[in-house]
Amino acid sequence: MRSLLATLFFRLISLLPLRLNYALGGFIGWWMAVIPNNLRHITRINIALCYPDMPSSEQAALVRASLKSTARTAIEAGPMWLWSSERALKTLVEVEGESILNAAVERGKGIILALPHLGCWEMVGLYGADRMPMTSLYRPLRLDGLDQLVRSGRERNGATLVPTDASGIRSLYQALKRGELIAILPDQEPADGGSGTFAPFFDIETNTTTLLSRLAAKSEATVLFSFAERLPKGGGYRLHFLDAPRGIAERDQRLAATAINQGVETCIARAPTQYQWAYKRFRSRPKGEPKLYKKN
């Protein structure tokens, strides 16, 4: 029943034009900022940690704006999964840094797209798969019907989803060897202790993936950061491509992870209200440090 209701929800909101979709997400996010809930709790902690010198009134404003963006991320998934790819891509009004992507394509060594939890990452996937063969890691959802909806939505434009295990990682290497495009979330908590290392993120020691750097070092692929900025009032999206910081393919895991986090910070600085501050980015702590998300 839960799977059916979730699928029905996304199908219904996909019937809305983008401006109404945007407004609905803002309304839901406003309530999330007013009513005590876990996402608001996490968002407040993360913003206070990352912007300790920001006045409390500005932190509160960023919390409200971020929760609206979090809700819009969920709501806009309906059209991003269910509209035709042609219709969805028509909402893309600008591509900033397209020359950077074109240069990476011409280099022919494959491209690793680092996609932070920022803006509409579904749009980046649609655009990337429209440009060239694209492979991404994917962890199946617990609700079968919703999982099928997400899979069909992300693969309808030619993308390939592979499991988050050894076979999936081999598929990523093979795609890069063919000179193709792969996508990785650079700011997601590593699934196990062996696939991450602690490095500074907003000057906070943060468990950071090592997979991206290992792929880059072994394949010599070009690493780019990308995100789709959500424009005001449901006016569409602006897609950004940025060069990765130097050192991202270093063999030294901490140096490479530091470069990854610098790249994520650079992206956030362009659209801080659209970052998913409700994600428990600092869940894992170095040995001896206290947990950060405990409720009083």
Q: List pLDDT tens digits, range 241-260.
A: 999 999 999 999 999 999 99
Residue 287: the pLDDT is 93
Domain definitions of the chain by residue range: 2-274
pTM summary value: 0.96
Amino acid at 55: P
- 171 pLDDT above the threshold of 90: yes
Residue 192: the pLDDT is 65
- 296 pLDDT above the threshold of 70: no
Residue 19 neighbours by CB distance under 10 Å: 12
What is the tens place of the pLDDT at every residue in 28-57? 999 999 999 999 999 999 999 999 999 999
Please give the Cα distance from 158 to 170 (Å, whole number): 19
What is the tens place of the pLDDT at every residue in 135-163? 999 999 888 899 999 999 999 989 999 99
What is the tens place of the pLDDT at every residue in 175-225? 999 999 999 999 999 876 568 999 999 999 999 999 999 999 999 999 999
Residue 170: the pLDDT is 96
What is the tens place of the pLDDT at every residue in 98-142? 999 999 999 999 999 999 999 999 999 999 999 999 999 999 988
For 183-194, letters b (16+ CB in 10 Å) and e give bbbbbbbeeeee
CATH class of 2-274: alpha beta
Amino acid at 46: N
Residue 191: the pLDDT is 75
Residue 194: the pLDDT is 61
* DSSP string covering 81-113: HHS-HHHHHTTEEEEETHHHHHHHHHH-S-EEE
Residue 204 in contact with residue 176, Cβ under 8 Å?
no
Residue 278: the pLDDT is 98
Instruction: Please give the DSSP secondary-structure letter assigned to residue 176.
Output: H
Residue 174: the pLDDT is 97
Residue 250: the pLDDT is 95
